[in-house]
Every structure is written in structure tokens, then in C-alpha cells.
């Protein structure tokens, strides 16, 4: 198995793990308040990730001031993304929420151009505009039965975009496992304060199984996402991120008997197609910008 193929497999497994986490969390959220579910899942996840961080000797504190500022920004963005996405997840179909998240490659590219002056040609701007049109089809704000929680999913994309842009600006001195563990701690603390404001629901064996399943899958997703960064070319592996939408479609159908409407499916296809074009275009630009190797004398 080549490095690129191994990276692709890890990316597909990572997306599967995150989607299974969403499904189990959604099952628990049908009974539990959001903050109670977040807090209980967060305890298990934080213990695992902090333990793994310690085992890998990734706990470091001697970063530059710029890295600390980016780490704080990334952590706050992750907390905001978790709150808004999970709120949307509990109030809309799984596949619809997953489809909106497929906007990330587009919004990250747009954010890099707007805030960091990264060069973006007209083809990629056109792909971004097309993807935004696809997202409007998914959200469908003019419909009579408009679900306002889809806006929560859109807001979560904004937070995740800020997270990814901050991550791109961090130096390599900051271990990715340390960043992941700190984010888990921050979400746990946020959920703890939120859990103090809601009336707790008694836990049952079934609810515990849902939350423990969610914790196991989200921990596996984080671990696999770290491994993905170390295997294969990013330009080859990144498109396999869209496999998360396929997992969401399958789980939404079998666990919740939900299937997106034709309009949502069309919007999802447009968003994914735009994202794939964008990633392939970036790969083409990077390949053409590499200096040609000189022939041997």
C-alpha cells in the first residue's frame, strides 16, 4: 500500500469515526439536554486525549507568543463550532448538517484570500461562488418550513474556518496532539458551565451506551486525523474528506429514517463538486509552481 493510499484510507476512516460520533450524539440528544450530553461525553474524550498526549510526550508549553495567540484563537473557535454544530445536529437531519460542513475547503480558501492575501484565481473564486449557491439550496431560507437551526450549522462553518486558518498559521513547534487535547479540555469546561444551567435527565444504560459510543468514535476520529497529517500528500488525501457526507447519508437513513430532499441532495452535489474542483485546482497550481528537476548530465 502506497503512502497516498494509506493516507486516503485513514482519511475515510477518520470521517467515518466523526460521523458515527455525530450519529450517537444525536441519538443521546433526543433525550438529554445538549450541555449534559456534551459534558458527559467530554469527560471520557478528555481523559483519553490527554492521556494519549502524555503518552506521546506532546505536552509542551514553551511556545512563542504568536503561537499561543493562535492556539487560543483556535481553541475558542473550536468551542464555538462545537456548540453551534451540535445544536444544529440535534434539530435537523444528520445528512443536511454534514452537507453544510462540506463548505469548509471553500470557506478556508476564501478566508485565506481575504485575511492573509493568499492568491486565488478566477476559477477558484467561481468554484467558491458555485459552492455558496449550493449551500443556499441546502439551507433554503425562503421556504415556508425553513428550519432556523440550519443557520447554526452555517455559523459553525464560520467558526471551523477560523479554526483552520489559525491552525495554518501555527508553527510546527506546536504538536497537533497537544492542540487537540487542549481543545477537548476547553469544550469540557464550556460544557460544564452550561450543564449547570439545565435540569439533568436521569441516565439509563442505553443513554450511557450512546454517549460512550460517541466518545469512543470522536476520540478515534481525532487520533486518525492526526495520523492522516503524517501520511501521504495532502493534495491527494484531502478530497477523501468528502466521504463524510456518504457516511452521514447512510447513517441518517438507517438510524433516523431520514433522507434529504432532492433540493438538498442537489445542493450537496454542487458543494462537493465545487470543493473537489478547488482542491484539484490547488494541487495543479502547486505542481506547476515546483521547479522542474534538471536532467542528469
Q: Is there a domain that residue 217 lies in? A: yes
Q: Is there a domain that residue 290 lies in? A: no
Q: Which residues contact 148 (CB under 8 A, 6 or more apart)?
A: none
Rounded distance, CA 201 to CA 37, Å?
A: 10
Q: Is there a domain that residue 15 lies in? A: yes
Q: Which domain, by its residues, includes 250?
A: 3-285
pLDDT of residue 297: 44
* Separation of CA 184 from chain center: 14
pLDDT of residue 1: 66
Cβ(245)–Cβ(268) under 8 Å?
A: yes
Cα torsion through 36, 39, 43, 49, rounded to 10: 140
**DSSP per position, 240-294:** GGGHHHHHHHHHHHHHH-----HHHHHHHHHHHHHHHHHHHHHHHHHHHHSPPPP
pTM > 0.75? yes
Q: Is there a domain that residue 294 lies in? A: no
Q: What burial class does residue 106 get, using C-beta atoms within 10 Å of its C-beta: 0-12 exposed, 13-18 middle, 19+ buried?
A: buried
Q: Is 102 helix (H, G, I), strand (E, B) or coil?
A: coil
Q: Is there a domain that residue 93 lies in? A: yes
Q: Is there a domain that residue 44 lies in? A: yes
pLDDT in tens, the chain (297 residues): 688 888 889 999 999 999 999 999 999 999 999 999 999 999 999 999 999 999 988 888 888 999 999 999 999 999 999 999 999 999 999 999 999 999 998 999 899 888 888 888 888 899 999 999 999 999 887 766 677 889 999 999 999 999 989 988 888 888 888 999 999 999 999 999 999 999 999 999 999 999 999 999 999 998 888 788 777 777 778 888 899 999 999 999 999 999 999 999 999 999 999 999 988 887 787 777 665 444 444
Rounded distance, CA 124 to CA 252, Å?
A: 31
Rounded distance, CA 26 to CA 41, Å?
A: 12
Q: Is there a domain that residue 296 lies in? A: no
Domain count, the chain: 1
Q: Is there a domain that residue 265 lies in? A: yes
Q: Pull the grid cell for residue 111.
A: 478566508
pLDDT of residue 249: 95
Q: Pull the grid cell for residue 60.
A: 509542551
Amino acid at each position: 500500500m502506497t503512502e497516498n493510499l494509506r493516507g486516503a484510507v485513514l482519511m475515510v476512516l477518520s470521517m467515518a469515526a466523526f460521523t458515527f460520533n455525530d450519529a450517537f450524539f444525536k441519538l443521546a440528544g433526543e433525550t438529554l439536554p445538549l450541555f449534559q450530553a456534551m459534558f458527559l461525553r467530554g469527560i471520557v474524550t478528555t481523559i483519553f486525549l490527554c492521556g494519549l498526549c502524555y503518552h506521546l510526550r506532546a505536552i509542551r508549553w514553551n511556545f512563542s507568543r504568536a503561537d499561543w495567540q493562535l492556539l487560543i484563537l483556535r481553541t475558542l473557535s473550536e468551542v464555538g463550532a462545537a456548540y453551534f454544530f451540535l445544536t444544529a445536529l440535534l434539530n435537523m437531519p444528520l445528512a443536511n448538517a454534514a452537507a453544510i460542513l462540506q463548505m469548509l475547503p471553500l470557506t478556508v480558501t476564501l478566508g485565506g484570500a481575504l485575511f492573509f492575501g493568499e492568491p486565488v484565481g478566477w476559477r477558484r473564486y467561481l468554484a467558491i461562488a458555485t459552492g455558496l449557491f449550493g449551500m443556499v439550496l441546502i439551507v433554503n431560507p425562503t421556504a415556508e418550513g425553513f428550519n432556523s437551526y440550519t443557520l447554526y450549522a452555517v455559523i459553525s462553518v464560520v467558526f471551523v474556518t477560523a479554526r483552520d486558518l489559525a491552525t495554518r498559521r501555527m508553527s510546527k513547534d506546536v504538536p497537533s496532539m497537544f492542540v487537540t487535547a487542549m481543545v477537548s479540555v476547553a469544550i469540557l469546561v464550556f460544557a460544564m458551565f452550561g450543564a449547570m444551567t439545565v435540569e439533568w435527565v436521569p441516565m439509563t444504560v442505553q443513554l450511557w451506551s450512546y454517549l460512550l459510543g460517541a466518545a469512543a468514535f470522536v476520540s478515534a476520529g481525532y487520533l486518525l486525523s492526526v495520523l492522516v497529517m503524517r501520511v501521504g500528500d495532502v493534495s491527494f488525501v484531502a478530497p477523501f474528506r468528502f466521504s463524510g457526507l456518504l457516511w452521514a447519508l447512510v447513517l441518517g437513513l438507517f438510524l433516523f429514517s431520514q433522507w434529504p430532499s432532492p433540493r438538498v441532495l442537489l445542493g450537496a452535489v454542487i458543494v462537493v463538486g465545487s470543493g473537489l474542483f478547488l482542491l484539484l485546482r490547488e494541487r495543479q497550481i502547486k505542481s506547476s509552481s515546483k521547479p522542474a528537476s534538471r536532467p542528469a548530465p
